[in-house]
Structure 1
Amino acid sequence: MGTTQKVIMVSGAARGMGAAIAKKFYDEGWCVSLGIRRSQIPAWATDKERVLIGHYDALDTTTEASWVESTISHFGHINAVVANAGIGIWKNIIDISEREMDDLLDVHIKSPRRLVKAAWEQLVACGSGRVVMIGSLSSKRVYDSDSGPYAVSKFATLALAHSIRHTGFEYGIRATVICPGFVKTDMVEGMMPELNMTPPEEIARVAHFLVTSPNEVSISEIPVNCRAEESY
């Protein structure tokens, strides 16, 4: 692979938004490293020259570094990271267990931080490193009581993205959090079947725009909604 060919890592890439984002970049000529917890590989991801399947589990603190290492070994460098992996636990702040709260924080904050840290030298070296965090409109507001703990973790995702943006700005790193509302994925599709949800391919288009924008275009947050709310 030529050193000018760009490389992106996408976590939670087996399905939903992660798969759509990875495919968008692959279709645009990028090399893609897919972070996947189980052996559920997208049907299109068969090009062994431009696609790497990496093991990634946000609840396993060793997989971020090993996935980054395998990506560098295979492609030689890293230009961008998309932290997409997520979980949904819908309980109020009193009823949620300590383990469930820890899982939300581990998946949405601690693991993405470890992933970006592991890839940091590569992102700095390229002079235009990009980090995209997949947050939620729950990063901006608490929708109801049962989405409260999820919102706590996603508010922190937003803060993490801003922290990365400040830390990496002088090195050409730009970080953005995409804050979607209801996206048509298997995690939420059954919750509101009557709603015309945002297709994951549209989130992929937003991610591609962010990653391919020049250093002079720094966008910290992008809310995306499929319906009219008071502020979003």
Structure 2
Amino acid sequence: MTRNRVALVSGASRGIGAATARELARQGWRLSLGMRDPRLPEWADPASVHIHAYDAAGADLETGWVTAATARFGRIDAIVASAGICSTSTVIEADDDELNRLLEINCKAPRRLAKAAWNALTASGRGRVIILGSLSGKRVKHAGSGLYSMTKFAAVALAHGIRHAGFDVGIRATAVCPGLVDTDMARALEARAPADMTDPADLARIIAMLVDLPNEASVAEFTLNCQLEEFY
């Protein structure tokens, strides 16, 4: 089912993005990987993996990436917007510059990427968009997660907006909302042992499943957690 299908993955240098790219490649997807420091991963086949310099903090870089990926593969069937940054500021401590940077990378960049790839996703007939949200986009756990949560709530809303905008042309969008995942970003914030956090490879398998579902199995949100919380 995945033969010849093409996915764009942002934030593909490390963490969830890198794990997702590797899993999609294992399942037969052709890939265009957006990286701030573009280099071919050791596992990648150059015949089926395209590397493109991409920084989600840059203005309007998405169109160039989509153009390059389309020139290489002739189609785009899915995008996985994995690039993101975190903050431990409260909504009172933060200044506008910090908020704007989070909004730029966590919300505006994935919206621009979906917009740039829209015609190709429509032509696919079963275009898929994965927005990496967070459980912080479902609840505000503590004061220090407040600013980050603002932008992840917006990312979840973005996924819903894309789902509505594209449903009639076969585009399906999902907000994937994990709790703590064993990545550099999470380890910098938490003393929790890696074994007590979600493995990025497990999250990657979930994302691969979501982009492979038929149009008749739309999943608006997928939440998962490594610890017990009241609702998640």
Q: TM-score range by the shorter chain?
A: over 0.9
2:212 counterpart residue number: 212
Deviation at 1:40, TM superposition (A): 5.3
Which of 177, 180, 183 is the matching residue for 1:182? 180
Matched, 1:164 2:162: yes
Amino acid at match of 1:113: R
Distance 1:127 1:83 in 2: 20
Deviation at 1:89, TM superposition (A): 1.4
Deviation at 1:198, TM superposition (A): 0.1
Deviation at 1:101, TM superposition (A): 0.4
1:44 counterpart residue number: 43
2:229 counterpart residue number: 229
What CA deviation, in whole Å up to 9, does each residue of 1:13-44 have, x standing for no partner? 00000000000010111101101012455322
Aligned pairs for 1:61-72 within 5 A: 61-72=59-70
What CA deviation, in whole Å up to 9, does each residue of 1:88-120 have, x standing for no partner? 111111111211100110111111110000000
Over aligned residues, Cα RMSD in angstroms? 1.3
Distance 2:15 2:28 in 1: 21
Amino acid at match of 2:175: V
Number of equivalent positions: 229
Is contact 1:55–1:63 with CA below 8 Å preserved after alignment? no
- Identical positions, percent: 47
Distance 2:170 2:107 in 1: 23
Is contact 2:39–2:51 with CA below 8 Å preserved after alignment? no
Which of 144, 147, 154 is the matching residue for 1:146? 144
2:6 counterpart residue number: 7
2:130 counterpart residue number: 132
Is contact 2:8–2:33 with CA below 8 Å preserved after alignment? yes
Distance 1:228 1:199 in 2: 16
Secondary structure of 1:93's match? coil
TM-score, length-normalised on structure 1? Answer: 0.96
What CA deviation, in whole Å up to 9, does each residue of 1:115-154 have, x standing for no partner? 0000000000010000001100001000111110100000
2:192 counterpart residue number: 194
Is contact 2:60–2:112 with CA below 8 Å preserved after alignment? no
More displaced 10-residue stretch of structure 1: 36-45 or 54-63: 36-45
Secondary structure of 1:188's match? helix
Secondary structure of 1:26's match? helix
Secondary structure of 1:178's match? strand
1:26 counterpart residue number: 25
Structure 2: give runs of 5+ residues left out of the alignment.
Answer: none
TM-score, length-normalised on structure 2? Answer: 0.96
Amino acid at match of 1:128: R
Structure 1: give runs of 5+ residues left out of the alignment.
Answer: none
Secondary structure of 1:103's match? helix
2:91 counterpart residue number: 93
